[in-house]
Structure 1
Amino acid sequence: MIFAGRFEGKVMVVTGAAQGIGAGVATRAAAEGACVVLADRADFVDDVAGAITAGGARAVAVRCDLETHEGAVAAMQVAVEAFGRIDCLVNNVGGTIWAKPYAHYAPHEIEAEVRRSLFPTLWCCNAVLPHMLANRGGVIVNVSSVATGGLNRVPYAAAKGGVNALTRALAFEYADQGIRVVATAPGGTEAPPRRVPRNPGEASAQDQVWYQTIVDQTISSSLMHRYGTIDEQVAPILFLASDEASYVTGNIVPVAGGDLG
């Protein structure tokens, strides 16, 4: 369902916008009137932005590595140069790279999980705040996860727990300055195969067993006993980003069929 004009006059930066939930958020926000900036390190983010502009909306793609502070700063700068301001930031970068019991993680794998699922949100929040403070307001929507209470993803769970803490602390710190900070916590979500896999290595038989544990636990933990759809994740993200949620800040909203994480 499209709410025509809901984001008219707003500028929204969406990270991880080349595919999946991020592409869905950017596409629908543009259809509802937003000028969107799609940030991703994959070159096919240009395709998503091109499809949006072909439909008559305003969109700019920026290729950057959001695991670095420099990449986050560059993304915000592109938004300001293109559209003059930033009203909303949706931090969508993240996702489990490996799935296995914690004792089987190597130190470099633990660091990689945290870099992927916590640091892009940390960096982007830091980079966007000066612009929102200059505008005397804005909204940050972080995409966390109910997997903070899941199996075989301890480093990822720790990273998303950090996203939750960041959400609450920033909301408290900046509420008096007109900035809302909120988050959704998605559960398992059906999506097309990733064009760039998070873990390009070939899965062993044991890896497949460990991953199946995640799938089984996700379905059993959901009261609806199913995965959600991308549209079912996009809708609450955009609600929280909109003026309809003007009295909501500091909350992490589970979107997982009843699983609270």
Structure 2
Amino acid sequence: MSGQLQPEQRQERQPGRQYQMHPEPDCLPRYPGSGKLKDRVAIVSGGDSGIGRATALAMAREGAKIAIIYLEEDKDAERSRQMVEEEGSEALLLRGDVGYEAFCREAVGKTVDRFGRIDILVNNAAEQHTEKRLEELEAEQLERTFRTNVFGYFYLAKAVLPHLKEGSSIINTTSITAYKGSPALLDYSATRGAIVAFTRSLSQNLIERGIRVNGVAPGPIWTPLIPASFDEERVAAHGSSAPMKRAGQPNEVAPCYVFLASEDASYMSGQVLHPNGGTIVSS
């Protein structure tokens, strides 16, 4: 990495807070809506900030009603709700930990109670922690990362399936680290690889039911996960190693989710899109 792209900054706890970042990530949709998701209902985990917020806003602009799952970032979540409503849609905030199946069932139940249906699941909530040496990776952290990043995806998918119909869509967030690895993100990278396999397997499992399952593997994106994970120097240079020499903004990733959720992607399942600043990865 070389070159400072953002001011040096650090947040001491996960998940990070978007309102504390400077500059804040750009989550507003970059194009007018055209009704691609009119009258549909989407659940977006991690929808309080970053890619999740940008996806919630993009889907809301396309006509979807949004249920936003978040862990504890009340201020960011409330801002996401307000922004969804500014798009002319409705939002439901659901506070809890996706790493626990009971909460996932509860969140899905509340969504159905509020909106009457579910058409789209965006599995996006995640956490990551840096460790330079495998010997320093504690079992508690390993389990926690997998619980959020993998178990949560399984639990939400399992909970929404009784409500999904032919034409519905599940979209899983993975990462460029699933394809390239990351020496300091051992457990996180492993979870992202698991999600690629989960996406491909679940797509085959559900294809006869007319439910499509795809994924998005972002590269270096400017989100609260960055200052909550890395030191000030690395945060400042985040994205400089990408071929485009910058970090992406969440609103540059969100159109992937809209596309995969819409009828534009009606012939796609088991695929992963790669908004990563120009890095070529093998599938």
Q: TM-score range by the shorter chain?
A: 0.7 to 0.9
Partners of 2:264 and 2:167 in 1: CA distance = 15
- Deviation per CA, 1:130-164, whole angstroms, max 9, x where unpaired? 111xx334100101001122221111111111111
1:158 and 2:190 matched: yes
Helix, strand or coil at the partner of 1:13: strand
Deviations 1:220-239 (A, max 9, x none): 3x332321111111111211
2:216 to 164, 184, 195: 184
Q: Which runs of 5+ in 2 are unaligned?
A: 1-30
What is the deviation of 1:3? Answer: 2.6
Q: Which has the higher contact order (CA 8 A, sep 6+)?
A: 2
Give 1:9 deviation, angstroms.
1.3
**Percentage of matched positions with identical amino acids:** 30
- 1:245 lines up with 2:265 in the alignment: yes
1:186 is paired with a residue whose SS is coil
Does residue 47 (structure 1) correspond to residue 69 (structure 2)? The answer is: no
Q: Secondary structure of the equivalent of 1:38? A: strand
| Aligned pairs (5 A) from 1:25-64 | 25-42=55-72, 43-44=74-75, 45-64=77-96
Q: 1:212 aligns with which of 234, 244, 250?
A: 234
State the number of aligned residues: 247
Q: Relative to structure 2, which stretch is displaced further, 51-60 or 144-153?
A: 51-60
Conservation of the 8 A alpha-carbon contact between 1:64 and 1:74? no
Point out the more displaced range, 44-53 or 174-183: 44-53
| Greater percentage in helix | 1
Q: Does 1:22 align with 2:44?
A: no
1:169 is matched with which residue: 194, 198, 201? 201
Give, in angstroms, the shift of residue 117 of structure 1. Answer: 1.6
Distance between the aligned counterparts of 1:78 and 1:197, measured in 2?
32
Structure 1: gaps of 5 or more residues: 200-206
Give me the TM-score of the superposition, normalised by structure 2. Answer: 0.80
Call closer, same or farther: CA 1:51–1:3 in 2, change over 3 Å: closer
Which stretch shows the higher mean deviation, 43-52 or 137-146? 43-52
Structure 1 residue runs of 4 or more that deviate by more than 3 Å after TM superposition: 196-199
CA RMSD of aligned residues (A): 2.4
Task: Please tell me whether residue 96 in structure 1 is matched to residue 128 in structure 2.
Answer: yes
SS in 2 for 1:255: coil
- In structure 2, the residue corresponding to 1:30 is in which secondary structure? helix
**Are 2:170 and 2:213, in contact at CA under 8 Å, matched by a contact in 1?**
yes
